[in-house]
Amino acid sequence: MKLKKLKKKVALEVLKFIPKNIIIGVGTGSTISYFIDFLKTIRNKIIGAVSSSIKTTENLKKNGIKIFELNKINNLPLYIDSADEINRNMDMIKGGGAALTKEKIIASAAKKFICIIDETKEVKILGKFPLPVEVLPMSYKYVKKKLEKLGGIVKKRNKIITENNNYILDISNLYINNPFDLENKINNIPGVISVGIFSQRKPDVLLVSKINKVKVIFRKNEK
């Protein structure tokens, strides 16, 4: 299957970017599952991993990779994760797997963030993928009304309780011209735990899996 091949290719390629003897932050999703399969092959060269979800933790443990809590380490040199959408400025939508809050914390805490995607994730304007917002359950109707004023169609994700015991509201039909502002606006609504726009913490390096190659893009000031 084409998409699966693209995801596997980029998941393998990113191994070249992992220095020896470090702890790595690890994201969540199908691309990251392939990455963990490959990470297993170099597990003796790394110290271990900080995980962004229960699923990732189980997967890492199953593959013999030691788990560290973010609170128990002094610094995190690298975070590797995928995304649902990314634009040319490297603003992203994440959270398709409902792990956005932990993903955002770990991405922000890490010195370097490498994002690995297949080419279908590249977009001109963010918003075709419904934007996830994690909300405190007691506030969700209030937050929903506030979000509706931003112009999209807001739906509570069916039967989903996040690992932090919260709900997810997905906003579809958005045309996100200014991701930075929208991230701030949504973050400012009381009851919002986090929003799946990653515009304040963008990747430092982006690996895009294309049919014939994996393209490597360094964000400005990054080498």
Residue 203 binds ligand 5RP (CB under 6 A): no
Residue in the structure block whose two tokens are 């958005």 = 174
Stretch that binds ligand 5RP, among 12-20, 92-100, 104-112, 166-174 (CB under 6 A): 92-100
- The number of residues that bind ligand 5RP (CB under 6 A) is 17
How many C-beta atoms lie closer than 10 Å to residue 108's C-beta? 13
- Distance from C-alpha of 205 to C-alpha of 34, rounded to nearest angstrom: 19
Residue 49 binds ligand 5RP (CB under 6 A): no
User: Of the candidates 6, 24, 95, 204, which one interacts with ligand 5RP according to CB under 6 A?
Assistant: 95
From the candidates 103, 119, 163, 222, which is the catalytic residue? 103
User: Of the candidates 8, 35, 78, 96, which one interacts with ligand 5RP according to CB under 6 A?
Assistant: 96
How many C-beta atoms lie closer than 10 Å to residue 188's C-beta? 9
Site for ligand 5RP in 14-33 (CB under 6 A): 27-31
C-alpha separations of 90 from 47, 139, 195, 201 in Å: 29, 31, 16, 10
Residue 130 binds ligand 5RP (CB under 6 A): no
Residue 82 binds ligand 5RP (CB under 6 A): yes
- Distance from C-alpha of 132 to C-alpha of 96, rounded to nearest angstrom: 7
- Distance from C-alpha of 48 to C-alpha of 68, rounded to nearest angstrom: 7
- Distance from C-alpha of 213 to C-alpha of 1, rounded to nearest angstrom: 17
User: Of the candidates 8, 9, 94, 146, which one interacts with ligand 5RP according to CB under 6 A?
Assistant: 94
What is the nearest approach in angstroms of ligand 5RP to the Cβ of residue 108?
14
User: Of the candidates 97, 127, 191, 203, which one interacts with ligand 5RP according to CB under 6 A?
Assistant: 97
- Distance from C-alpha of 81 to C-alpha of 104, rounded to nearest angstrom: 10
- Catalytic status, residue 13: no
- Distance from C-alpha of 199 to C-alpha of 219, rounded to nearest angstrom: 13
Residues with catalytic roles:
103
Residues that bind ligand 5RP (CB under 6 A): 27-31, 81-84, 94-100, 103
